[in-house]
Amino acid sequence: MHATDDTHRPELGSWVASANQPATDFPVQNLPFGVFSRVREGGPPRCGIAIGDSILDVSAAADLGLFGETELPAALACAEPRLNALMAMGANVVRALRAAVSRMLRDDTEEGKRAEAVAREILVRMHDAVMRLPAEIGDYTDFYASVHHATNVGSMFRPDNPLLPNYKWVPIGYHGRSSSIVVSGTPVRRPKGQTRNDPAGPISVGPSARLDYELEVGAFVGPGNTMGETIPIGEAASHLFGLCLVNDWSARDIQSWEYQPLGPFLAKSFATTISPWVVTLDALEPFRVAPAERAAGDPAPLAYLSGDDDRARGAFDITLEVWLSSESMRASNTPAMRVSRGRFVDMYWTLAQLLTHHASNGCPMRAGDLIASGTVSGPTPDSRGCLLERAWRGTEPLRLPTGEPRRFLEDGDEVTLRGWCERPGARRIGFGECRGVVAAAR
């Protein structure tokens, strides 16, 4: 934890009352960044910070003189319709801005009193706002960092050879599609495509019959690296702005027919949903822990992927859940059903290792680039992060409260991802939700 950063102290409260409720994802200890538009007044999107059930309009606060000279450039960058400029400013600048916002939203400071007096001008209720993508995502990369997921899926696609020889040496990843990343709440249309479910059978073209979600954590890149330069593992965390939730929707039937030899393509590129709030690494500081120990006999990470700080606290202790509700569940007011709960600490590679590996060939990372972890699956069946694993390729269908079976997603199904951090001695913080409803194919 940073000596100068006291924004995590669990006893802090806010003059925004909803931020003090125990169940909120957004207490004053969190302060995640996002991009919003006001529903009624209209106007261009701008950057805000979540506090309870409201959003601090950062640049409105700047216009009212609520920031000091130090934080002013960063606060003014929040007038832009995306976080990229702020992300590029670096960890120290963002930390100072976030600390100033903390003082501004607390109930025990002079800054808080001044801000509360102009609350109507600087706060927007979340239900009066529409959230946008937090950044212009130049490049999106999806990794495969859960050894449990890789082993489960591998055993279905390649029973004789589930985990490939490179897995424990190379953080496996592939480039994803930026143009189809959408913010939570956007309907996701079932894709059509080529499939061949029986290797000797006919090829079909039509709506995917094996639509799936994937529970992932995404990391937004802060300051990037120059092309041809690398990012040493010890500096990786300072290149990460913050984390969000990612649903990497996948069409398993399209995937299994198209993916060799160049990897998943149309099975993924139809839609990827992310949560709108980006939780900074500073907010996650109290929840950094040592990564899970590797199994006996596994190779140690190679030197360029090994760092003292990463070994000591390279993982983030985030609990992650997937909730599912069918159209008939919602019609009958049946609450959504939790279909999995996993922990981000179960990943085989840390985010720092993923970023360092990504830049190890000199590939330039840019502020606003998104790196996703790959499906977060743990060692137990109920911690498996996709339906393919959860219902074991359709052979063990889930049973919804309405009695409906689920092998893969049906039209009208709503998938909601949630994530939060809690531990004794710290205030619980959350990610909000990452939600999407499946629309029928056209």
Which residue number, 271 or 347, has a Cβ lying nearer to a second copy? 271
Which residue number, 157 or 397, has a Cβ lying nearer to a second copy? 157
Which residue number, 121 or 136, has a Cβ lying nearer to a second copy? 136
Q: Is 239 considered catalytic here?
A: no
Distance CA 353, CA 304 (A): 9
Nearest CA to 209 out of 385, 406, 399, 414 is that of 406
Q: How far is the CB of 85 from a second copy (least distance, A)?
A: 16
Q: How far is the CB of 252 from a second copy (least distance, A)?
A: 13
Which residue number, 259 or 392, has a Cβ lying nearer to a second copy? 259
Nearest CA to 134 out of 94, 184, 71, 174 is that of 184
Which residue number, 48 or 173, has a Cβ lying nearer to a second copy? 173
Which residues make up the interface to a second copy (CB under 8 A)? 138-139, 144, 154, 157-158, 164-166, 169-170, 172-180, 182, 189, 191-194, 196, 199, 203, 205, 227-230, 251, 254, 257-267, 269-271, 302-304, 357-358, 360-366, 369, 439, 442
Residue owning tokens 């502020």: 367
Which residue number, 174 or 290, has a Cβ lying nearer to a second copy? 174
Q: Rounded to a whole number, what is the distance in angstroms from the first to the last CA of the chain?
A: 51
3-state secondary structure of 196: coil
Residue 422 DSSP one-character state: -
With 0-12 / 13-18 / 19 or more C-beta atoms within 10 angstroms meaning exposed / middle / buried, residue 145 is buried
Q: How far is the CB of 84 from a second copy (least distance, A)?
A: 13
User: Could you tell me the two tokens for 294?
Assistant: 């590797």
Distance CA 123, CA 100 (A): 16
Distance CA 83, CA 221 (A): 11
Q: How far is the CB of 310 from a second copy (least distance, A)?
A: 17
The β-bridge partners of 33 are 49, 278
| From 8, 148, 149, 239, active-site residue | 149
CB 418 within 8 A of CB 431: yes
Distance CA 55, CA 160 (A): 52
Q: How far is the CB of 357 from a second copy (least distance, A)?
A: 7
Determine which helix (DSSP H) or strand (DSSP E) holds 338, and give its type and residue range: strand 337-343
With 0-12 / 13-18 / 19 or more C-beta atoms within 10 angstroms meaning exposed / middle / buried, residue 401 is middle
Which residue number, 20 or 204, has a Cβ lying nearer to a second copy? 204
Q: How far is the CB of 194 from a second copy (least distance, A)?
A: 6
Q: How far is the CB of 280 from a second copy (least distance, A)?
A: 23
The β-bridge partners of 193 are 206
Residues contacting residue 195 through CB under 8 Å, at least 6 positions apart: 203, 204, 205, 206, 208, 209, 253, 254, 256, 257
- Enzyme catalytic residues: 149
